[in-house]
Structures are given as C-alpha cells and as structure tokens.
Chain A
Amino acid sequence: MCGFSGYFGSIRDGRALLESMTAAIAHRGPDEQGIFIAPEAGLGHVRLSIVGLGDGQQPMSDASGELTIAFNGEIFNYVELRDELRAKGRRFRTSSDTEVILHLYDEMGEECVSLLNGDFAFAIWDARRRRMMLARDRMGVRPLFYTAYGGTFYFASEVKALLQVPGVSAEIDPIALDQIFTLWAPIAPRTPFRNILELEPAHLMTVDQHGVTTRPYWQLQYPDRDQPPVYVDEGSAAEELRALLTDATRIRMRADVPVGAYLSGGLDSSIVSALAAGMTPQRLRTFSVTFDSAEHDESAFQLEMAAALGTQHSAIACRTGDIAKSFPDVIRFTERPIIRTAPAPLYQLSGLVREAGLKVVLTGEGADEVFAGYDIFKEARVRRFCGRQPGSHIRPHLFRKLYPYLPGLKQQSPEYLAAFFGAGDAPLDDLLFSHRPRLKGTAATKLFFSGDLRAQLKDYDAADELIGRLPQDFGRWHPLHQAQYLESRFLLPGYILSSQGDRMAMAHGIEGRFPFLDHRLVEFAAKLPPEMKLKGLTEKHILREATKDLLPAVIGKRVKQPYRAPDSHSFSGPGELDYVRGALSEDAVAEGGLFNVRAVTKLYEKCRARPASGFRDNAAFVGILSTQLWLQTFTGAGIGKAEAA
C-alpha cells in the first residue's frame, strides 16, 4: 500500500517540495518515508509496510541505480513472477513485490504492467531514457492524480499532495460538479479540481522531454450478443468460477502481517470471509458496521455468519449523528463532493480495524459489478419487458418486487411505481437505457444550481459525454453487459472504489483487498452468458451456485440489500452541528456561488422540519453540504458565519 508523489522537470528545491507533498499524504503510509532526487525528477514515498517489512523501503532503485520506483498497492502474483524472473537469472536483493516490478520493467519496459495481477499505481523513473512512467491497475483500485505547472509535471496518490506545489491551487471544475450531480462521479480523467486530472484505470502514461503520452493497456470487454457463448454448461462454469475465486482470495492473503476481512452480512463479503477463514491457520478477524436504524442494519446476518465461520468478530456501531460528526473528515479524504453518506460509516470501520492492530482487510466489493448483483440490472430487465409488452397486466406489479427494502416504495400504488420507472424511459436501443431513470433522478438535484453555475454549464450534458466515452463495440453487447460496463468502468472506480474504498480505508492507513476484482475473474465473468449472472430476477446466480456449500442457507439465498447509510436524517435533530448550519447558511452558500441561496435555505428548512427520505431531497442535501465542505476544505471559501464564529 502506501502513497507517493513526484515530479518530472526542473525545480529549485525538490527535496523540500517532496517532503511537503508526502507529509500531506502521511496517513497513507505511517510506517516509513523516503525521498529520491535526480537532476530532472523526484519521487517521494510514505509506506504502509505489508510485504517485505524489513527490506521494502521506497523509493527503491535497481542494482544499476538507473531505475527507481515509487509504488502504491500490492502485486498479488509477485511470488510467481519472482520465481520466473529468478529462472531467467535475475537476482533479488529484497523480499518485496516492489522489486519485482523493477525487474519486470527492466525486462519488458512499460509492457510489464500486462503481467501484474494486483491493485497498483506506480511511477518509475528511467534515467536511461530520461523518462517517467506512470501506471494504474485495471479496475482503478489505487488512485493517481497529476497536473502540470510552470513547465513541470507533478503526480501524487491524492490531490492534497499536489496542492502543496507552489502555484497549484484548488478551484472547482463546474463540469465535474455537473457530472457528480448527474452520474454520481466525475468522468475520469476529470476530477473536481480544475486542471488536476487522474490517470484512468488500466492506463499507463509516459512523460519525457517530448511531452505526455497516455494509453490503455487493458480493456473490459464483453462478447457480441450474437456470438456463440463460450460457456454453455453451468456446472463447469461454476466450477471454474470457484477455482478462480479461491485463487484470487489465496493470493490476496499474501502479507507479512495478519489479514482480516470486512463482513457486511451480505453474500459477497460472506463468501470472501468463508474462503479466507479456510485458508488461515489463525482465527480470522472480521469487522462490520451496525446501524441503529432497522432499514440499514444487517447485524443479525453479520453475527450469524461470524458464528458460522468462528471468526473473531468486531463491530462498530454507527449511531444517528456519527455520520454528521465524521462527515467533514470524509470529504477531506474523498476529495470530492458526494451525494450519499455511505462512505462515512466505512471511514469509521477502517478506524476500528486500525484500533484492532490490523493493516489489511479483504472485502466483497466488486461482486455486484462483475456478477450483476445491483438492482439496476433487474430494473432494466423489467423496464425492457415493459417496453416490449406495454399491455401486460403484470407490468405494475413487477416494479414492486424490485425494491422490497425501500419503505418509501412499499407505500406506492402499482400504477405510481410503473409511472416512476417509466419516467425517463428511453428507446430500447438507447445506449444508456439501463441507467436513464437513475441519471434523470439524480440530475433533478441540479435544480439547486445557481444561475451563475447554470450559465457556465450552458447546454452541457454529462450523459452525452458518457455516451461519447463508450467503446465502439458497446452497441453490439447484450443489454446486461452494457449495464455492467457502465457500472464497472465508471461508477466503480469513480465512486465506489475511490470514495468508499481506497480513500476511506487509507484515511486510517488500512489496505483493502478485493478478490472479486482479480482481473482473471473479471475477464471470466465478462464471458459468461447473461442468464448465468441474472437468472430471471435472481442476481449473481452463478456465484450462488459456485459457493452454496460455503455459507449458511439464510446468507446464500439472501436477496441483495445494497449497502446504504442514513442521509439527510444524519444531519438534523437535537445534535445538529454548527458546521452544518455554517456551511448551509445564506452567507456561505452565496460566497460559494454554486447554489441558489433561497432554494438551499428551503431545502435545509424542509430537512430540519421533517428529515427527507426521498432520493432527490437526500441526494441534493448531501451533495450541497459536501460541496460546501469541499470548498471550505480545499479553497477556504464558503465557510459561513456559524463556522467562522
């Protein structure tokens, strides 16, 4: 794990700059720090020691001293790669996975990334070629941001390090804000910070005196819908899945420190915990978060699973008000406005893991994208059925089945449900068909944008830009695969892995590992016929089949309950905090200039009078509050009277 920063170009005091850049991300690597300076480049590193505890210090140079790496993440197949390199005569000086990347780069150049199975972002300074190479893992688990200023190229694991560069300042990018208020996340390489970009997942970049070159080295690909299926026998597909998942978990248990697991009570984390428990000679440590609202709490399932596996289980209670207390810290670490509070409990959870003395946890994240677990996939299937069968009598009742855990929808008539899900209905050949209701519902929160912001955005349409970013063959894929791609390629790295994954874990120096995002498993699942993933309206069918002997039946047959946390409700009530009043005060909103002061005041009053439970009001409240906190944290604007006092 860890964090790094660096530059390519000529600057006056590289060491001092790198010291301040790495200090800004010290939370990512509390164990060690290091700096490397060359005439035209520099690298800084903060280390979370997990593999090669005694000899894995970074930045690390090869024996020639011409190649130097700063690396964040883990290469899970480093043992096999090291054996192969040794067989070729390569000699290793350390037991770390970092050195394996250096040797591979020496052998293969930038193509080395194609052999790496892991979650990584790294920079290699190649003094021979006078070139900096940057790379990021396939699914976007680990972050990497960059900017250019005054003729020098800068990069870092988090934006807050780049903001240490004299002359680089934080300014919100209105397009990114529009994307967040439509798609939940900016479309990479764009970030909320104007002129600060991120390297996209599965991309590599080279920077030299001729400029910057970026290219993908891997792409998430699905078969054409009329192509004969690769897998026709469900039994053998389930068997292969089980073998891949077992191996993905096995190599993610590699560490010179104990590895624990998150246990949400759902199917995915239970599978990962069950596999891990069978692989460790010690009693596995598991961790979960509980809520005091029945709508969000899954503690009964967590305890059942922990008891079934015999794990040493710890839980942290997220009570009403806890989310509000930690929310400013959450925004400081997410470095982006968010429209839901779900990252906040995960921030608390990683703190619990740290207190327990662990540094590494396995999680079930990714299974919903890879094996079609999200409700949006089922919803799209029902909507397609309704589009094809507009006269069907069962049409209204199908929607009621989709979201049994949402109290607001339980009270709706079938006619209303059909109208809501029909709202925004697109032609069946619309490339964003699966996501249109969500995009439309989220974009309704832009009602609160100020006149100035609307004028800046003019006719900009985030959904159109998303369509422009789809691969050429996207239109030939099965609709389920199209929906999976949209989730996996955009929302997963842009929101889930960044806001809920890397940034919430690393805030407390915790490394999350994701067996379901092993690229071998991702590639395998992409080739599976859609009906093996979403069978009727049963999600993750093949995954259930492949793991049914691992789990108690009550867990294995659980219908997906998405991880959610209380939203605007968390910020109102007797314990309301001064910072909320300050950030949403008329002065602060006016100073920020992004939102309509009167509309925000009315929303705030509405949420205080009766905590909003509708999606739009909740998303708008959390989105506006988080944007105001973002402004305060990174630009100093929008502080408001209550906070200033």
Chain B
Amino acid sequence: MTQAIKEKVRTFIIENFLFGDTSYDLADTASMIENDIIDSTGVLELVAFIEDQFGIAMADADIVPANLDSLARISAFIAAKAVPVTA
C-alpha cells in the first residue's frame, strides 16, 4: 500500500509544486524545504491534499517537518494514519 500512496503523493508533488517538471529527480528522502519544492503555503496545500485524498484529519501536532518534509515521510505518515480496510 505504501508504494501506491507514494506514487499518488509523488504525482501530486510533481503536478502541484513542480508544475509537471518530470525531469526533476525527486528522491524519496530529499527535503522538500531545503530543495525549495515547498513553501509555507505549499504545506497547507499538502495538508489539504492528504485530508482530501486519504480521508485523514490532520491535527496541528501532525503538521511538522518530521511528518511531511519528504516523499518517504509523507508516505509513511499517511500509511500509519490511514484506517485499515477490514472485510
């Protein structure tokens, strides 16, 4: 599931923050702040995306770089927060 989450987030980042620039080498662990991919408004856009697409209600305490500053961190955060689908 994490791989599917990661690809969905990657697509969002490329479309929304890199404006379709697929040539950008978006490494899983690269900091989005240090690489100027995301600014202060971008964080809020990312939060809205996660809440909307994954049905997660994010608390203020969740919105920290430790959870959201790289593709790997975002994916892991979503995977941990997502409600497991049970039969």
- A interface list, Cβ under 8 A from B: 408-409, 411-413, 415-417, 419-420, 423-424, 440-441, 443-444, 447-448, 596, 598-600, 602-603, 606, 612-617
Q: Name B residues whose Cβ lies closer than 8 Å to a Cβ of A.
A: 15-16, 18-21, 33-34, 36, 39-45, 60-61, 63-66, 69
Q: Which of B20, B41, B60 contacts A617 (CB 8 A)?
A: B41
Please report the C-alpha to C-alpha distance between residue A616 and residue B40 in the assembled complex, in whole angstroms: 9
**Chain B residues positioned under 8 Å from A440 (CB to CB):** 36
Interface centre among B20, B36, B64, B65 (most CB of A within 10 A): B36
User: In the complex, are the beta carbons of A614 and B20 less than 8 A apart?
Assistant: no
Sample (30) of A-B pairs whose CB atoms are under 8 Å apart: A408-B40, A409-B40, A411-B44, A412-B43, A412-B63, A413-B60, A413-B61, A413-B63, A415-B66, A416-B40, A419-B65, A420-B33, A424-B34, A424-B36, A440-B36, A447-B18, A596-B21, A599-B20, A599-B21, A602-B15, A602-B20, A603-B19, A606-B16, A606-B19, A613-B41, A614-B40, A614-B41, A614-B45, A615-B39, A615-B40
Given contacts A443-B36, A612-B41, contact A415 B18 (CB under 8 A): no
A440-B36, A443-B36 given as contacts; is B19 within 8 A of A599 (CB)? Answer: yes
Chain A residues in 8 Å Cβ range of B40: 408-409, 412, 416-417, 420, 614-615
Q: How far is the CB of B12 from chain A (nearest CB, A)?
A: 12
A441 near B15 with CB under 8 A, answer no
With A and B bound together, what is the CA distance between A423 and B34 in angstroms? Answer: 5
Residues in B with CB closer than 8 Å to A612 are 41
Which of chain A's residues have a CB closer than 8 A to the CB of B60?
413
Neighbouring B residues of A447 by C-beta, 8 Å: 18-19, 21
* Bound form: Cα–Cα A606–B19 in Å: 9
Task: Report A-chain residues with C-beta under 8 Å of the C-beta of B16.
Answer: 606
Task: Please report the C-alpha to C-alpha distance between residue A412 and residue B47 in the assembled complex, in whole angstroms.
Answer: 11
Using CB atoms, name the residue of chain B closest to A410.
B40
Q: Is the CB of B41 within 8 A of A423?
A: no
B33, A616: Cβ atoms closer than 8 Å: no
Chain A: minimal CB distance from B19 (Å): 4
A614–chain B nearest beta-carbon distance, Å = 3
Closest chain-A Cβ to B73's Cβ sits at a distance in Å of 12
Q: State how many angstroms separate the Cβ of A617 from the closest Cβ of chain B.
A: 7
- A444 lies within 8 A of B15 (CB): no
B74 nearest CB across to chain A (Å): 14
Measured between C-beta atoms, what is the minimum distance from A423 to chain B in Å? 5
- A420 to B41 CA separation, bound complex (whole angstroms): 11
Give the residue of A411, A423, A596 whose beta carbon is less than 8 angstroms from that of B36: A423
Contacts of B20 in A (CB 8 A): 598-599, 602
- Contact of A415 with B42 in the complex, beta carbons under 8 Å: no
Question: Can you name the residue of chain B whose Cβ is closest to the Cβ of A425?
Answer: B34
Complex CA gap A440/B40 in Å reads 14
- Contacts A614-B40, A614-B42; is A416 near B19 (CB within 8 Å)? no
Q: Is the CB of A415 within 8 A of B64?
A: yes
B80 to chain A, nearest CB (A): 18
Question: How far apart are B81's CB and chain A's nearest CB, in angstroms?
Answer: 17
B33 touching A423, Cβ below 8 Å: yes
List the A side residues contacting B19 at CB < 8 Å.
447-448, 596, 598-600, 602-603, 606
A603 to chain B, nearest CB (A): 6
Q: Which of A596, A600, A614, A615 has the most CB of B within 10 A?
A: A614
Contact of A444 with B21 at beta-carbon distance under 8 Å, contacts A419-B65, A614-B42 already known:
no
Other A-B pairs, 18, CB within 8 Å; known A412-B40, A441-B39, A615-B39: A413-B63, A419-B33, A420-B39, A420-B40, A423-B36, A424-B34, A441-B36, A444-B36, A598-B20, A599-B19, A602-B15, A603-B19, A606-B16, A606-B19, A613-B41, A614-B40, A614-B45, A616-B39
Residues of A within 8 A of B42 (CB): 614, 616
Task: State how many angstroms separate the Cβ of A405 from the closest Cβ of chain B.
Answer: 14
Task: Please name the residue on chain B nearest to A614 by beta carbon.
Answer: B41
- The CA of A598 and the CA of B20, in the complex, are separated in Å by 7
Chain B: which residue is nearest A602 at the CB level? Answer: B19
In the complex, are the beta carbons of B36 and A416 less than 8 A apart?
no
Asked, given contacts A598-B19, A598-B20, whether A615 binds B33 with beta carbons under 8 Å apart, the answer is no
List chain A residues, Cβ under 8 A from B66: 415
Give the nearest-CB partner of A412 in chain B.
B40
Please pick, from A416, A596, A599, A603, the residue contacting B43 in the complex, using a CB distance under 8 A. A416
Q: Select from chain A the residue with minimum beta-carbon distance to B63.
A: A413
Please name all residues of chain A whose beta carbon is closer than 8 Å to the beta carbon of B34 when the two chains form the complex: 423-424
On whether A415 and B65 interact (CB within 8 A), knowing A423-B34, A602-B19, the answer reads: yes
Chain B residues near A441 (CB-CB < 8 A): 36, 39
Alpha-carbon gap, A544 to B65, bound state (A): 39
Task: Determine the chain A residues whose CB is within 8 A of the CB of B64 once the complex forms.
Answer: 413, 415-416
Which of B15, B19, B20, B66 neighbours the largest number of chain A CB atoms within 10 Å of its CB?
Answer: B19
Q: How far is the CB of B70 from chain A (nearest CB, A)?
A: 12
Q: Say whether A408 contacts B44, CB under 8 Å.
A: yes
Name the 6 nearest CB pairs between A and B, nearest first: A614-B41, A599-B19, A444-B36, A602-B19, A415-B64, A419-B65
Do B41 and A416 have beta carbons less than 8 Å apart? no
Give A59 to B10 CA distance when docked, in angstroms.
Answer: 64
CA distance A419 to B20 in the complex (A): 25
Query: Residue on B with the closest CB to A599?
Result: B19
Nearest CB of chain B from residue A590's CB, rounded to whole Å: 15
Residues of chain A with a CB closer than 8 A to B61's CB: 413
Looking at the assembled complex, report how far the CB atom of B60 sits from the nearest CB atom of chain A, in whole angstroms: 6
Complex contacts, B18 vs chain A, CB 8 Å: 447
Give Cα A444 to B60, complex, Å: 27
